[in-house]
Structure 1
Amino acid sequence: MSDHVLKVVEEEGFGDAGAKSFFKMARVLDCFSRTNGSLSLTQLVEGTGLPRTTIHRIVASLREIGMIDQDGRRGDYRLGLRMFYYGSVVLANLDLNRHAHSHVVSLHQVTGEIVHLHMFDGSHMVCIEREEMGDARNTTLTTIEAAPIHCTSVGKAFLAFQDQRLIRKIVAEEGLAARTVNTLATYDALAENLALIRERGYATDEEENEIGIQCVGAPLRDSRGRVFGSISVSGPTLRMPLSRLSGLSHAVTQTANAISAELGWDPSKKRR
């Protein structure tokens, strides 16, 4: 929840007391992330800027409905399983799953390699469907598979088409960990690669996340042309040398565009 929205609600008087409480709860929940999965009451106070008594009241309410759990030994708070349930329900009912499934299967049949469909969750790329050896699997309903954003084709295909401020924010928060010797671990190197991705319309992972695995990915767009996710084909480097990555890029990009078109994107009105 943005500081601006909360300020408007609280200072301009929009909404009733219940609405204001909801926005404050959202601010508390926004403090949690993959890198900050467990937080103390003091950290929540610092992260939200809200009074300690207010935070204490909010986390007590969130605990009661299962949206926050508390570590019995340390006393720290973490998101509860009810949040996972809500997230699973949302992902299971996304239009993306319905529109993309046949395209994911088709791309796997054409390439013979693993196909992943990912969405951005605020810090990582989360896999919502995978087609491997003819067996489609919706991973979010069992275990969420997350991919780094700076060193995977799905991550870079998403990142390249975002506002520069968001790119810098993600890099600042998540860092550029060198997963392999090929990882683009500096901002300048990554920025140069993102510019190339914008120019050619697809991204590659040339053993940047895992030695022995190479991938090619393309961005998915919503009806307004905004990139919100990506689709990729990946496989062993022995089967997917650079020459094949280049050849597969056309099929991956076509598939991404077809899914985007079903979601309402007009290819004649391309936007970043």
Structure 2
Amino acid sequence: MDNSILQNNETVSGVARTMAILEALAEHPEESGVSEIAQKLDMSKSTVYRFLQSLKTRGYVVQDAEDRYRLSVRLFELGAQALPHLDIVREAEPGMRHINELTGETVHLGILDEGSIVYVHKIDSKYNLRMYSRIGRRAPLYCTGIGKVLMAWLDQPELMAHLQDESFKPRTANTLTSIEAYLQELSVVRAQGYAEDHEEFEDNMRCLAAPIRDRFGHVVGGMSVSFPCFRFRDELKQDYVKRLMEAAEQISRQLGWHSKSSTNALA
């Protein structure tokens, strides 16, 4: 066999073992001796020891007086270098296109800015009759699906600070027009994990929205899909919600969020 192929295979194997050891240290910091790691990963103790010493030399792990190992801040430093390059629009694009292909409807990405939503990205409906919107357009927090997911997980003082100056001006017959009604709606959003706009912003237009989180778990954006009422099918609603939430969770993971309950990827 070609020596270069053997070397490549050995390199891949070495990388895989290194990552497995780092992940084991992250998952079980209280059981991070050579024997424990070797047993967990089904590696020989000599192999684990060799890799740990290499990682220690490069500053990625620290060895204590009892010969236990833990991750160093070096890994955090590396991760921190990637954070400025994460862009919510770029990361959201594939998920938004997935939902657009699934439904054929307009998909929006919105963020909170100075007491309102700002649409920072959109993918148009494949139909001629669609919701009017444009990138950069502002919309109210109190009568939109994205507004609800941006508000639902805020701390109470920050939430009330946003709402105290809100007009709650009726946009349609279904618009929520009081803080009390809106707070009750937000409790429903938190419980189910997504928001709905039942013709509250525009007549004859329904919307489903899911939150997008950053690495700290803070909701930093919302992704929505909007349907003219005559194209909205109640029997498909739960499937749309499932796919929308999966896509939003995938985007959140790409932004650094990790949730024990978030295990689904895009189908």
Name the counterpart of 1:215. Answer: 207
Superposed CA offset, 1:106-163 (max 9, x none): 110011111000111121111111111469xx954xxx21111010001001111111
Cα distance in 2, alignment partners of residues 139 and 190 from structure 1: 26
**Paired positions, count:** 173
1:245 deviates by 3.6
Superposed CA offset, 1:27-72 (max 9, x none): xxxxxxxxxxxxxxxxxxxxxxxxxxxxxxxxxxxxxxxxxxxxxx
Task: Show structure 2 runs of 5+ residues with no match.
Answer: 1-84, 128-132, 263-267
Cα distance in 2, alignment partners of residues 139 and 216 from structure 1: 18
Identity %: 32
Name the counterpart of 2:231. Answer: 239
Larger Cα-atom Rg: 2
Cα distance in 1, alignment partners of residues 256 and 173 from structure 2: 40
* Within-5 A mapping of 1:76-115: 95-115=87-107
Cα distance in 1, alignment partners of residues 234 and 143 from structure 2: 16
Cα distance in 2, alignment partners of residues 184 and 222 from structure 1: 29
1:262 maps to which of 246, 254, 258 = 254
Cα distance in 2, alignment partners of residues 263 and 94 from structure 1: 7
Name the counterpart of 1:206. Answer: 198
Report the TM-score, using the length of structure 2 for normalisation: 0.61
1:192 aligns with 2:197: no
Superposed CA offset, 1:148-193 (max 9, x none): 1010001001111111112211111222111111111111111111
Q: Given the superposition, is the C-alpha separation of residues 192 and 133 from structure 1 closer, same or farther in structure 2, using an over 3 Å criterion?
A: closer
Cα distance in 2, alignment partners of residues 221 and 206 from structure 1: 24
Q: Given the superposition, is the C-alpha separation of residues 94 and 128 from structure 1 closer, same or farther in structure 2, using an over 3 Å criterion?
A: farther
1:156 aligns with 2:156: no
Superposed CA offset, 1:238-270 (max 9, x none): 111555444311111111101000000002288
Q: Given the superposition, is the C-alpha separation of residues 181 and 134 from structure 1 closer, same or farther in structure 2, using an over 3 Å criterion?
A: closer
RMSD of aligned residue pairs (Cα, Å): 2.2
Q: Given the superposition, is the C-alpha separation of residues 269 and 112 from structure 1 closer, same or farther in structure 2, using an over 3 Å criterion?
A: closer
Runs of 4+ with >6 A deviation = none
Residue type of the alignment partner of 1:148: P
Q: Given the superposition, is the C-alpha separation of residues 209 and 111 from structure 1 closer, same or farther in structure 2, using an over 3 Å criterion?
A: same
Cα distance in 2, alignment partners of residues 266 and 148 from structure 1: 30
Contact persistence 2:149–2:209 (CA under 8 A)? yes
Task: Show structure 1 runs of 5+ residues with no match.
Answer: 1-92
Residue type of the alignment partner of 2:203: I
Contact persistence 2:105–2:126 (CA under 8 A)? no
